């Protein structure tokens, strides 16, 4: 008496035995040659499908969903990799290969051809299972805490898939044609020059894919800009041959993978990972508006917020210098530069530690004296970064007249009335809270 598990285990054997008896009785009839082989082929296909379903859904799936497997990350990855489906296919094709020899009264030529076809299918299934196992190994390695990076070995898996499928193709053709694999390898060697020309881009991209993925040069979701192309946006796909980039205007740029190895490109991932986005922009001062500030002007601007810190920084920079031996002589451009530094140091959306923060004077140009801001915002999102940057420069441009300075612009747009236009223009109400103003 067979139990439920025993009957499940012997189901393929019982099915094959029943099918063999039926074919044996049919072979004795007069119409055996007409109906036997189509029925054999259909019967083998049905048996293959039945055995696959039994092993895939009645044996492997319950095992994969067991309590032990659900607690193991490796078993979860095995289930997601669909290796169990490939394994069920291997078992099914092996059973069918054995079952062909059990069937009686079949021509030897039919049996030989059937074995060739079954062996070819077996090679294809095993090749596909090996690739799935390689992807499983990649997924498991990438999930390790010390790695923590998706598709760490994706490049090697891609190259390995190409090699495995190439070998499998040669073996399948050799089995079907009953020729030695060396025969086809020799033929491919003679055609190597032609193959290198035909598959040049594929081979270059294949090995470039290894460099890109193993070197972690590009990931899906990275913002990259490639010099000499229109690619400037987020990577949506990294495949064997092509890297697809969705530009900011929503167009798609497709680049050969080897382009990322042969040409320079910028990956902005480091900026996002650091948490800071750089501001590197200058205000060009009209050099004719630069002068020394008088004592009364210094006293007048001293009440402006942050000006005491700017005065302290500027006095530290000029005290002890030979040209200031007669006393601390402060220029409006120098005081403005220190004010900008003090303003950035207290700005809540600028990194104050761990990232460079400076305000410097660059080489004078025909279009003015550049005062460059070099700092990093705490928000890397594009729109918010632009808003922070614009707000900072709006404030600084509005503060220029307080120091008696003027931003450079062409003479056709501005004509200085007289020298008095260079004087300090201080509107005290601008620095008094609205509720405390006299006209409030």
**3-class state of residue 346 by DSSP:** coil
Q: What is the reported pLDDT for 1?
A: 45
Q: Are 393 and 283 in contact (CB under 8 A)?
A: yes
Extended strands (E) in 88-228: 223-226
The pLDDT tens digits for 120-179 are 888 888 888 888 888 887 777 777 766 666 666 666 777 778 788 888 888 888 888 877
Q: Give the pLDDT band of residue 213 (cuts 50, 70, 90).
A: confident
Q: What is the reported pLDDT for 79?
A: 66
Domains within the chain, CATH numbers bracketed? 4-190 (no CATH), 217-268 (2.30.30.60), 275-436 (no CATH)
The pLDDT tens digits for 28-76 are 544 445 556 677 677 777 877 888 888 777 777 777 666 665 666 566 6
Token pair, residue 122, equals 């077996």
DSSP code of 143? T
Report the alpha-carbon distance of residue 315 to residue 358 in Å, rounded.
18
Please indicate whether residue 18 or residue 299 has the higher confidence score (pLDDT).
Answer: 299
Please indicate whether residue 350 or residue 260 has the higher confidence score (pLDDT).
Answer: 350
Q: What is the reported pLDDT for 228?
A: 84
> What secondary structure does DSSP assign to 214-278, as a single string?
HTT---TT-EEEETTSS-EEEEEEE-SSEEEEEETTS-EEEEETTHHHHS-EEETHHHHHHT-EE
Over residues 258-281, the mean pLDDT reads 89
The pLDDT of residue 5 is above 70: no
Q: What is the reported pLDDT for 320?
A: 62
- For the whole prediction, is pTM greater than 0.75? no
The pLDDT tens digits for 321-335 are 655 545 567 889 999
């Amino acid at each position: 008496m067979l139990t439920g598990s025993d009957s499940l285990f012997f189901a393929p054997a019982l099915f094959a035995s029943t099918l063999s008896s039926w074919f044996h009785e049919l072979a004795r009839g007069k119409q055996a040659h007409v109906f036997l082989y189509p029925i054999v082929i259909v019967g083998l296909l049905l048996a293959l499908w039945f055995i696959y379903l039994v092993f895939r859904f009645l044996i492997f799936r319950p095992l994969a969903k067991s309590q032990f497997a659900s607690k193991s990350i490796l078993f979860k990855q095995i289930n997601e990799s669909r290796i169990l489906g490939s394994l069920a296919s291997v078992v099914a094709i092996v059973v069918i290969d054995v079952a062909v020899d059990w069937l009686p009264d079949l021509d030897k030529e039919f049996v030989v051809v059937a074995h060739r076809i079954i062996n070819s299918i077996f090679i294809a299934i095993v090749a596909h299972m090996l690739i799935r196992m390689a992807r499983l190994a990649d997924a498991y390695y990438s999930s390790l805490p010390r790695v923590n990076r998706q598709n760490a070995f994706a490049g090697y898996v891609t190259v390995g898939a190409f090699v495995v499928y190439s070998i499998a193709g040669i073996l399948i053709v050799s089995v079907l044609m009953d020729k030695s694999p060396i025969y086809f390898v020799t033929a491919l060697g003679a055609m190597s020059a032609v193959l290198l020309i035909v598959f040049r881009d594929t081979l270059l991209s294949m090995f470039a894919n290894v460099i890109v993925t193993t070197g972690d040069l590009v990931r899906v979701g990275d913002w990259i800009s490639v010099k000499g192309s229109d690619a400037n946006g987020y990577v949506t796909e990294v495949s064997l041959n092509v890297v697809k980039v969705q530009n900011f205007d929503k167009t798609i740029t497709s680049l050969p993978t080897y382009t990322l190895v042969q040409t320079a490109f910028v990956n902005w991932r480091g900026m996002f990972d650091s948490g800071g986005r750089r501001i590197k922009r200058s205000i060009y001062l009209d050099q004719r508006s630069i002068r020394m500030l008088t004592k009364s002007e210094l006293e007048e601007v001293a009440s402006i917020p942050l000006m005491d810190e700017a005065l302290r920084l500027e006095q530290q920079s000029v005290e002890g210098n030979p040209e200031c031996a007669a006393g601390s002589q402060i220029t409006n451009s120098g005081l403005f530069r220190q004010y900008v530094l003090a303003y950035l140091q207290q700005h809540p959306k600028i990194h104050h530690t761990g990232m460079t923060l400076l305000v410097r004077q660059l080489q004078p140009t025909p279009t003015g004296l550049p005062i460059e801001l070099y700092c990093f915002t705490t928000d890397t999102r594009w729109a918010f970064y632009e808003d922070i940057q614009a707000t900072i420069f709006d404030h600084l441009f509005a503060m220029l007249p307080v120091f008696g300075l003027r931003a450079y612009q062409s003479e056709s747009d501005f004509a200085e009335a007289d020298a008095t236009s260079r004087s300090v223009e201080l509107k005290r109400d601008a620095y008094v809270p609205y509720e405390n103003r006299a006209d409030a």
